[in-house]
Every structure is written in C-alpha cells, then in structure tokens.
Structure 1
Amino acid sequence: MLSKKTQYAFKALTFIAERKKDGPVLIAEIAKKKKIPLKFLENILLELRKAGLLESKKGKGGGYFFNVDPKDIRLAQVMRLIEGPIALLPCVSLNFYERCKDCDEKKCGLNRVMIQVRDNMLEVLENKTVYDLVAK
C-alpha cells in the first residue's frame, strides 16, 4: 500500500505538471488545492528538490517547478525516493535487498511469487511517468 507521503508526492507533482505553463507554483496553493498539510508538503517537496526532480525560486513569482521534464520522471523513481523499496519483501528488492532471517530463498515459495509481483509492478511503474498521471 502506498504511504500518505507517497500519495501526497504524486498529488503535488501532478498539480505542478498541470500548472507547468503558468510558471512556479506556490507551496501554499498546492497544499490548499490538494488538501495536503503544509509542513508535510514542505518536507516532501524538499526531498524532490534535493533529488533534482524539482527546483524552487524564492520571492515574487517564486514557487516550485520541474527541473526535469515530467515525461522523464518515472513513477518508480518517485516511489523509491519517497517510499524506499518497491518490492513487498526485502529479499526480492532490486535496490534495497536484505536477506530474510531464517529463510532459504532457494526453497521459499513466497519469495518466488513476490519476485513475479515485483517484476509485474515494475513493468508498469518503470514505463509510466508523472506526465502519464495528467495526460487525458
């Protein structure tokens, strides 16, 4: 299940993408329109800015805007940034692998099924972008 933090990140990115032609978007406007707690949103947008996906401008005409084209921001990238691993078990994660305690991965049926789940989920998340969230 997606955390609220990740859901809010997608809502904010979608809102900024919809308003892209209008220039930088104020954080207060995003928070109000998308019903996201302002302080929580500030932290999320800061993470996205630190990762290089967004940029911000201070002062009059300031706000957040894309540093990377929304067509180039994969949903999997945002999820990993905000959420961490996409895989449902640490032993099947591609980027955050951890061996499960007291488990023989070669004999574990759950491991084999979760690899299929991961691969199918990644097929979608790696091929969809922020732009796809706003495209009609």
Structure 2
Amino acid sequence: MMSQKAKYALRALVALARSDGGGTMMIGQISREQAIPKKFLEQILLELKRADIVLSQRGRSGGYALKRLPSEVTFGEVMRLIDGPIAPLPCLSKIAYRKCDDCQDEQACEIRHVFERVTLATRAVLDSTTLADAITLEDIPV
C-alpha cells in the first residue's frame, strides 16, 4: 500500500507541474492547496530536492519548482524514492530481495506467482506514467 508520504509527494509534484509555465510555488501555497501539513511537506520537498526532482529558490520570487520536465518524472521513480521497492512480497523486490521466511520453494509458490503478475503490472503502469500524463489525462488507460 502506498504511504501517505508518497501520496503527498505526488500531490505536491502534480501541483508544481500544473503551476504556470514551470514557475515556482511557495511551500505555504502548496500546503494550503493540497491540504498537506507544512512541516511534513518541508521534509518531503527536501527529499525531492536531494533526488534532483525539484529545486528551491530563495528570495522574493522564490519557492519550489520542478527541476525536470513533468514528462521526465514518473510515478514509479517518486514511489521508490519515498516508499522504497514496489513489491508486495520481499521475494519480488528488485532492490531489496529477501526470501520469505515461510516459503519452502519460490519456484513452486502459487502466491508468489500471482503477486509477481500484480507487481509487474503495477510497475509497468507507475514507470510509464509521468507527471505530465497525470495533469493532461483525466482517465489514464490501464
């Protein structure tokens, strides 16, 4: 399940993608418009800045802006940054693989086979859906 932090990060990024011509938005404005607690949003934006997804500018016309085009930032990238691997089972994780404690044989595990299909489909959607897609499509085809 997606964490609230990841949801807030995506909402903030979508707000930045929607901002006029890639302009900056003040943290207070994002917080109010997206109903994200300001202190939590500060932490999230700092993580996104460290990952080179957003940039911040000080001063009168300062605030936060996307560092890359909305078409270059995928939901999958943001989800992995905030929540870690996109896998419902540890044995399906690409970057944090771990054998399930109660599994005798991964190759014969029916549960793993079903969730592998779910995981692959989920990754495919998240890795091919960008911020630009989110703001231009009302219904993203599945």
Q: 1:37 to 1:19 in 2, by over 3 A?
A: same
State the TM-score, normalizing by the size of structure 1.
Answer: 0.95
Counterpart residue type for residue 90 of structure 2 = P
State the TM-score, normalizing by the size of structure 2.
Answer: 0.91
The residue that corresponds to 1:46 in the other structure is 46
Assess if the C-alpha contact under 8 Å between 1:20 and 1:65 holds in 2: no
Counterpart residue type for residue 27 of structure 1 = I
Mapped to 2, the partners of 1:20 and 1:116 lie a distance apart of 39
Mapping for residues 34-113 of structure 1, pairs under 5 Å: 34-103=34-103, 104-113=105-114
Q: 1:63 to 1:127 in 2, by over 3 A?
A: same
> Are residue 25 (structure 1) and residue 25 (structure 2) matched?
yes
SS of residue matched to 1:55 = strand
Q: 1:31 to 1:106 in 2, by over 3 A?
A: same
SS of residue matched to 2:65 = strand
- RMSD (Å) for aligned C-alpha atoms: 1.2
SS of residue matched to 1:113 = helix
Alignment gaps of 5+ in structure 2: 138-142
1:4-50 CA-to-partner distances (Å, cap 9, x unmatched) read 11111111001111104162110000001111000000011111000
Assess if the C-alpha contact under 8 Å between 2:54 and 2:68 holds in 1: yes
* Moved segments of 4+, more than 3 Å: none
Mapped to 1, the partners of 2:22 and 2:135 lie a distance apart of 15
Alignment gaps of 5+ in structure 1: none
1:51-101 CA-to-partner distances (Å, cap 9, x unmatched) read 001000011100001111110111100000011111111101122211111
Mapped to 2, the partners of 1:22 and 1:114 lie a distance apart of 38
Mapped to 2, the partners of 1:67 and 1:97 lie a distance apart of 31
Mapping for residues 5-24 of structure 1, pairs under 5 Å: 5-21=5-21, 23-24=23-24
